[in-house]
Amino acid sequence: MDCIFCKVVNKEIPSSMLYEDDEIVVIKDIEPKAPVHLLIIPKKHIPSLNQLEPEDKELIGKLVLVGKEMAKNQGVNESGYRLTFNVGKDSGQTINHLHLHLLGGRKLIFA
């Protein structure tokens, strides 16, 4: 498989990993759209939300909870932050491996 996030998860390419457990890694986005822009990535390869299965529901909940903790860790939990899944190319999804964006550190314009 030629998935860049799978390569990050398997430590085949370097990344700025901020968090890791048995199911999830968190890295800094290499093209940040806000002062804080992290990617919360499941280790399990799931192309997008469209391919989620019922057995993935706990993993998705964990992604959100890790996002909440990372927002606190990055100091944006009080000022506000955004958690976003992009689904498909028209939404801006450029890597076909499910990931949750955490954006904060400035006022975010509603899109």
The question of whether 99 is a catalytic residue gets the answer yes
Position 87, amino acid: V
Per-residue CA distances from 64 to 24, 40, 70, 100 (Å): 11, 9, 10, 8
Strands (E) across the chain are located at 17-20, 24-28, 36-42, 81-85, 100-104
Q: Active site residue: 37, 45, 97, 99, which one?
A: 99
Task: Provide the annotated active-site residues.
Answer: 99
